[in-house]
Structure 1
Amino acid sequence: MAINSNNFGGMLPSAITNFTSLRIMTLDYNRIFGSIPAGLGNLVNLEMLYMGNNQFTGDIPEEIGELQQLKELDLHGNKFSGNIPSSFGNLTLLIHLYMYQSSLKGSIPPELGKCQNLLLLNLRQNNLTGAIPKEVLSIPSLTIYMDLSRNNLIGSFPTEVGTLTNLGILDISHNMLSGEIPGTLGSCVSLEALYMQNNFFQGNIPSSFISLRGLQVLNLSHDNLTGNIPDFFMDLRTLAILNLSFNTFEGLVPTDGVFRNASAVSVVGNSKLCGGIAEFQLLECNFKVTKKGRLTLAMKLVIAASALLCAALVLTSLFLLFVKRKKVEPTPTSPENSVFQMSYRSLLKATDGFSLTNLLGVGGFGSVYKGILDSDEKLVAVKVPNLLNPRASKSFKAECEVLRNVRHRNLVKLLTACSGSDYQRNDFKALVYEFMVNGSLEEWLHPITPGIDKARESSRSLNFVQRLNIAIDISCALEYLHRGCRTPVVHCDLKPSNVLLDDEMTGHVGDFGLARFFPEATNNLSFNQSSTNGVRGTIGYTAPEYGMGNEVSTSGDVFSYGILLLEMFSGKRPTDEIFEDSLNLHTYMKAAFPGKVEEILDPILVQEIKGETSSYMWKSQVQDCVVSVLEVGIACSAELPSERMDISEVTAELQAIKEELFRSEDMGAHEVQVVLQS
């Protein structure tokens, strides 16, 4: 049952507790008030329950803990007055738990530690008190993020945090935690972002932080930390943002690595620090002298060694200038993109001099090359924008800004980037992504290319199950961008060429050159983006309201997704020559729905349904599911934004279609394997 995003008001009727066969219930983003009926515990088959962003009050019923099939629970954005029920510990299949901004009180129940399948936990911005239970920090399945920020939690941070070796983001900021930072945090080797600011932590930064090789953001500001700033921060190559401000650090500020960029590091509010680059505006470090005004023996040795080293360096430099031509070394980074550090020289070597044999494609904004990084022999895709196009530079900045803030299995992962100059002192920028061996979805949907033989063309076709899986991958990525990010993101250019496929045919959404962030702390579905920049996106996939100068919105992404979904199952581009006047892909599919679906399906799917390799049961199941999928695509691509589905509803519906496809008891595992491999 999905009635989310409809502005429904009133109280939740008690009769809803009689729908015991329900597996999915999405009531979120309405104006439903009153208490949640305790009888909701009768819906023992529920797997997804979304009640977030309403006006529910009172206590959360303990009976929700009886929904032991529940995998996703969203209660965020309500006005509860009670505690988190300890019965939630019975939800052992739970993978997503959202209860942020819900006015919850009391302590975090240790029973949550029994939810050993949790991937993410968000309890941000409540009125929670007490200590963080060590049981909650002993859930090894947590991989996406744990957010306990902006509460009133006290006590020390449990050493059990070292159990979270696969966690990507940890946020415990804006609490009242105290004591030393546990050294076991160094075991959380998958961390990409760690927020610990605005607490009362004291002592030194643990030396074990040297193990956090994937760390991109670290915020330790507004605590009571002391000691020197560790030199190993210079060696954390992925570290993009380091905030150490308003502590009591002392001594020399390093000048290498992340410390070379003042926009990436903040050390203000530490009066005993000295040195660093000029932009930090710190005092110079002065050596101590003895009472007689003489340097100590140790200082003399240091100065002597330094003088010898400088002399050696000068002589070496003069020799190199004499025997070699003067060569300009390209700058590896610039302030506009302090997140990533990759030199032009490294990329030149990785792509064999940006050779044509490594050229994967050319577009209006630039070129993409295949390359191999020296460091780990990793195969990568290097995107080099054409800086003669002013929009290319903006696109580069947008992608950096978005991809440094997002992390999801269905998004193309940005590994590193370069922003500097080449050997001729020309501006040079590049983005380095994980290489997707199966190319783009565009190449699989429309594989006909001059010079390619028929046998190769037919081998690059997708069956129904593969298309459905990729459609779910894309919707999961959009759901994360719209609802799972700290600041929601609108992609603005969703189309088949921007969906890449890995070796397992998993879909990854990429190309965030037009993407935009929502303003922080807003619940609106759209935000003002000046229309003077023209229609955003690609013709055929762009929401019609954008053409009238309307605001960028998540519903615009949903429209693009709907068109993409219809294209995936019809095999027709939205710009096909048959579409003219008032006929477009949406109206074309809707006119044939549902009685003439076979006439508008991709011929490859028609052949699969009618083929001899599958049983009658499988064919019947696929045919029914095709109708359901097209219904989702038609609903998403409605002309009016208010008539489109919410992306969370889309994901839930497609997941349900997939489960229904494989539910038939008459279809054995052997046939499923045959179909998946056909």
Structure 2
Amino acid sequence: MEHHCSILLVASLLLASPAWTSASAGSDGTGGDHRALMQFRSLITDDPYGALASWGAGNMTAPAPCGWHGVTCGVRGRRRGRVTALDLRGLGLASSGTAAPSSLSGLTYLRRLDLSGNRLGGGVPSPLPPSLEHLNLSHNALQGPVPPALGSLHRLQKLSLGYNHLTGAIPASLGNLTSLTSLGLTSNNLAGAIPSALGNLKALTGLYLGGNMLQGSIPSAVFNTSSLQKLAVWTNNLTGTLPPNTGGRLPRLTYFNVDSNRLHGAIPASLGNLTSLTILSLASNNLAGAIPGALGNLKALTGLYLGYNMLQGSIPSAVFNISSLQTLALWTNNLTGTLPPNAGGRLPRLTSFGVDSNRLHGAIPPSLCNASKLEVAQMYENSFSGVIPDCLGTHLKNLWALILDGNQLEANVDADWGFMDSLTNCSNLKIVSLAANKLGGVLPGSIANLSTSMEYLGIWRNMVSGQIPQEIGNLVNLNAIYMHLNNLTGIIPTSISKLNKLSNLVLSGNKLSGQIPPTIGNLTVLTLLFLEDNMLTGPIPSSLGSCPLQTLSLEHNRLTGPIPKEVLLISTLSDYATFQENMLTGSLPSEVGHLKNLMALDVSGNRLTGEIPNSLGDCQILQYCIMDGNMFQGKIPESLGQLKALLALDLSRNNLSGHIPDFLGDMKGLEQLNISFNNFDGDVPKQGIFLNASAFSVEGNSGLCGGIAELKLPPCSDNGSTSNNKRSHKLVMIVSIATAFLGISLLLALCVLCHQRRKLIKAEHALPLINDQFARVSYVNLMNATNSFASENLIGIGSFGSVYKGTMISHDQEVVVAVKVLNLQQRGASQSFIAECETLRCTRHRNLVKILTVCSSIDSGGLDFKAIVFDFLPNGNLDQWLHHRLREHGTHSRIDLVQRIDIAIHVASALEYLHHYKPTPIVHCDLKPSNILLDNDMVAHVGDFGLARFVHQDQTNPSDISSGWATRRGTVGYAPPGQVLTSTLHFTFTIG
């Protein structure tokens, strides 16, 4: 394969050489075209539609192949019989890693080349025929940078390289293409700034740079391209503001899309001068201020997208005068005021209306019904009040989504529900969501007469009474019903079993009675079932075992009988299964061990008997096991010690007996333990969770003794502790021997460490002391400290997040810090955050990084945000000094042998501290040069404790270690000698 690829590459290079080009342009030009096309075909590895089957007829000296598929030849002059266009778009052609289009450089009269929609490998070909006027290589698999040589194709009018995998910066040489009318680089991985040289393209009508990683501001020169009609730079990392006179310099602009960037400032009123504009999309930025009333001058506008910004004030009345408007999207801002009474009457073409997540108030104007083409009305999370207009369904026949959640809308009498009757006229209706309002009165039966295309029905958190109509089974396409937190009564309709597309059924928090219909097992795609907090009676249907449930909540009802084993055999149960506060009887079936993916199990407050099944230990993912308030008896099974993920265990108020098992004190992740009011006896352990009186409870067990002093239990008798004394005596001997050995080791190391003392003390005093003044640091604080997490402040990227340099205020002084922002979309990032906090909050050592504070909050987009703030160590990490700095900065950045030995000692000191940390040793699990940071005096500090673990000192069983977390942590893949630092100090520093 390598030999074959080499031959193809050499052939391609030979074909692209000046000598070949010269020959092909001579008297044998048509033969040269033939050879170039045949060379291209030879590099195609897959032709799924046989498009090139007609190629290759005749010999190598035959005339130009003007009849081949996709080939066009000239008909007059010098171009007569010469290939002038090659159009092979959308044929699924595939090539090897070689850039197949490069072989076409011999087509010296080629003006148009369109190979879009194929699977051609390699990078952007260079050279290409200088006669090209149209080049389209979009939707391929091209990699690498955009060749600057493309800037020499002076005849090029259209360049399309979008939807590939191109990297690097946009070459400024593209500004030389003065004939260019369209430049398409959409959806690649391009970075860097937009070259200001693109402003030289005075003939440009379309600039498409969206879907990349471009930074900086949009060059002012681009806004001087008066011929520009379409400007699309969406989804990048662009910053800065829009120039105030933007609209005055782009008179022909029809499409302007800069959404999903980081632009700030106000929306320029001059945009109102773009009278040809049809689409204006500024969404998902940091724009502030008011919406300019001048936008009402855009009489050709069909789409206005301003959502996800920080806009304030009211919606200008002039916006509702744009009769051409089809989409108005103003969601997620800080807009206030009311909607104009005649809003809908002036928008006859409106199909989508989105003003959700603002602070609008007042009534929903009935004039909205005059927007007869409206399909989506999205107004949730505002303060709209009054009744819902009953004309919605009468006039809006195309309506398919009505979303009014989170307002103050009312319905008190039957007439107020008239809108529901009218919605039965909307044959395309799919979504009706009225949650979290003040809707009261009786649920109208017309809800069952809505369109059979209905997919989502949500009326939760209202005050609706009455019964769920039996006819609801007519809505055969429903996949979600949310009616919880109302005052509904009656039974669960058996017709629900007809909804074979239903995946979410949430009826909790009502006053439903009767039995759970056994036919509910017919819902073969049901994943969420919430029936808690009702008055349901009878048994739990065993037919539930046929539903692929992920979450099951039956708590706080009056259910009787045993827990069916079929329910415990639902392998998809993964979130939680709750049965608490019912009247369930019988034993907990051993089939509970099949819930291997379950995180939470709650059977508390029932009448369950028998022993806790040993199989419960097979639920390896279980984090919360709540079994209090039953009549379980016997001992706590040893198998529960296998629940490595367990965070909370509540076995209180049962009839359990025997000794408290030691393994409960060995469970490192256990945070809450309640075994009170049972019949336990004997000694209370003194390790692990039993050292924290606030984390466990053993009260109400009269036979217990010993334990920590806070328990105030009587001491255990000598007879009961003989074996413990023997073990203690043996432990004392072991500790004595270990102490003596450690003393000798420390004596030998003392001479080496003494000369470091002054330097270390100096380093400690050089670092600013922050202590607790940032104890409640917010997301806004960190955003300001890092200049909105600007790329220029990025100092490192790890497996679980990025580290930024920032400046914070401490006692009226600026303090430089390092902010580690967790990427919570990355699996394991949350656990890494917890591990690092748990480790560093209780450790104190001069050679460990110092944690200043943490932030667990919500970011500006409403998503979870977690970050850790450390001291900033200016000399970077050891890996940079050993390798990168040597290559980048030469010999002046070397560290000498003495410094290397010093750093080794610093790391050894930190590890010795961690491995002998009391009460529980700590293993770093990912020690390597890049995780060793250096301060001003080149003192080493061990950092990145995202994979660290507390290790019980009795865990010496090799099988436990080899099968546990120890074999799965640390840097994945090959790590070269000189970059490996293990927790046993078998590491090597490069000295040369």
Structure 2 length-normalised TM: 0.35
Q: Report what 2:740 is aligned to.
A: 315
Q: Report what 1:265 is aligned to.
A: 696
- Which residue identity lines up with residue 468 of structure 2 in the other structure? I
CA distance in 1, matches of 2:733, 2:571: 52
Contact 2:633–2:657 (8 Å) recurs in 1: yes
- Secondary structure at the aligned position of 2:719 is classed as coil
Question: Given the alignment, which residue of 508, 519, 537 partners 1:76?
Answer: 508
Q: Report what 2:138 is aligned to.
A: none
- Secondary structure at the aligned position of 1:249 is classed as strand
- Secondary structure at the aligned position of 1:105 is classed as strand
Q: Report what 1:305 is aligned to.
A: 730
> Could you list the per-position Cα deviations for residues 525-567 of structure 1 after superposition, in whole angstroms to 9, with x for gaps in the alignment?
xxxxxxxxxxxxxxxxxxxxxxxxxxxxxxxxxxxxxxxxxxx
Question: Given the alignment, which residue of 393, 416, 420 partners 2:842?
Answer: 420
CA distance in 2, matches of 1:118, 1:143: 8
Q: Report what 1:494 is aligned to.
A: 859
- Secondary structure at the aligned position of 1:108 is classed as coil
CA distance in 2, matches of 1:275, 1:231: 14
Q: Which structure would you say has the larger RCO, counting Cα contacts within 8 Å and 6 or more residues apart?
A: 1
Contact 2:647–2:671 (8 Å) recurs in 1: yes
Q: Report what 2:482 is aligned to.
A: 50
For the pair 1:28 / 2:383, whether they are aligned, the reply is no
Residues 299 and 3 of structure 1, relative CA distance in 2, 3 Å threshold: closer
For the pair 1:112 / 2:560, whether they are aligned, the reply is no
Question: Given the alignment, which residue of 511, 520, 527 partners 2:866?
Answer: 511
For the pair 1:16 / 2:450, whether they are aligned, the reply is no
> Could you list the per-position Cα deviations for residues 314-369 of structure 1 after superposition, in whole angstroms to 9, with x for gaps in the alignment?
53465455445599xxxxxxxxxxxxxxxxxxxxxxxxxxxxxxxxx966799999
Question: Given the alignment, which residue of 173, 176, 200 partners 2:631?
Answer: 200
Residues 428 and 104 of structure 1, relative CA distance in 2, 3 Å threshold: farther
CA distance in 1, matches of 2:807, 2:663: 36
How does 1:151-230 map onto structure 2 within 5 Å? 151-230=582-661
Task: State the 1:420 CA deviation.
Answer: 1.8
> Could you list the per-position Cα deviations for residues 195-249 of structure 1 after superposition, in whole angstroms to 9, with x for gaps in the alignment?
1111111111111112211111111112111122222223322211122222222
Task: State the 1:21 CA deviation.
Answer: 2.0
Residues 379 and 275 of structure 1, relative CA distance in 2, 3 Å threshold: farther
For the pair 1:137 / 2:568, whether they are aligned, the reply is yes
> Could you list the per-position Cα deviations for residues 90-142 of structure 1 after superposition, in whole angstroms to 9, with x for gaps in the alignment?
11101111111011111111111110x21101111111111111111110001
CA RMSD of aligned residues (A): 3.9
- Secondary structure at the aligned position of 2:555 is classed as coil
Q: Report what 2:770 is aligned to.
A: none
- Secondary structure at the aligned position of 1:200 is classed as coil
CA distance in 2, matches of 1:365, 1:259: 41
Could you list the runs of 5+ residues in structure 1 that have no partner in the other structure? 290-294, 328-360, 373-377, 391-405, 434-490, 500-508, 514-678
Structure 1 length-normalised TM: 0.51
Which of structures 1 and 2 has the bigger CA Rg? 2
- Which residue identity lines up with residue 715 of structure 2 in the other structure? E
- Which residue identity lines up with residue 690 of structure 2 in the other structure? F
Contact 2:800–2:828 (8 Å) recurs in 1: no
Residues 324 and 300 of structure 1, relative CA distance in 2, 3 Å threshold: same
CA distance in 1, matches of 2:702, 2:795: 48
Q: Report what 2:57 is aligned to.
A: none
CA distance in 1, matches of 2:657, 2:795: 46
Identity %: 38
Task: State the 1:4 CA deviation.
Answer: 1.9
CA distance in 2, matches of 1:299, 1:41: 67
Contact 2:800–2:829 (8 Å) recurs in 1: no
More strand by share: 2
- Secondary structure at the aligned position of 1:420 is classed as coil
Residues 238 and 431 of structure 1, relative CA distance in 2, 3 Å threshold: farther
Q: Report what 1:124 is aligned to.
A: 555
More helix by share: 1
- Secondary structure at the aligned position of 2:514 is classed as coil
- Which residue identity lines up with residue 46 of structure 1 in the other structure? L
CA distance in 2, matches of 1:237, 1:432: 23
Could you list the runs of 5+ residues in structure 2 that have no partner in the other structure? 1-431, 754-780, 812-823, 869-992
Contact 1:411–1:510 (8 Å) recurs in 2: no
Contact 2:857–2:866 (8 Å) recurs in 1: no
Question: Given the alignment, which residue of 30, 40, 53 partners 2:472?
Answer: 40
Residues 72 and 304 of structure 1, relative CA distance in 2, 3 Å threshold: closer
Residues 145 and 300 of structure 1, relative CA distance in 2, 3 Å threshold: closer
For the pair 1:285 / 2:716, whether they are aligned, the reply is yes
Contact 2:644–2:669 (8 Å) recurs in 1: yes
Task: State the 1:259 CA deviation.
Answer: 2.3
Residues 167 and 28 of structure 1, relative CA distance in 2, 3 Å threshold: same
Task: State the 1:493 CA deviation.
Answer: 3.1
Contact 1:9–1:33 (8 Å) recurs in 2: yes
Contact 1:383–1:432 (8 Å) recurs in 2: no
- Which residue identity lines up with residue 510 of structure 1 in the other structure? F
- Which residue identity lines up with residue 552 of structure 2 in the other structure? L
CA distance in 2, matches of 1:512, 1:27: 37
Task: State the 1:272 CA deviation.
Answer: 2.2
- Which residue identity lines up with residue 178 of structure 1 in the other structure? T
CA distance in 2, matches of 1:94, 1:408: 28
- Secondary structure at the aligned position of 1:305 is classed as helix
Task: Give the stretch that moved more between structures: 220-229 or 75-84.
Answer: 220-229
- Which residue identity lines up with residue 63 of structure 1 in the other structure? S
- Which residue identity lines up with residue 260 of structure 1 in the other structure? L
- Which residue identity lines up with residue 865 of structure 2 in the other structure? G
- Which residue identity lines up with residue 636 of structure 2 in the other structure? I
- Secondary structure at the aligned position of 1:79 is classed as coil
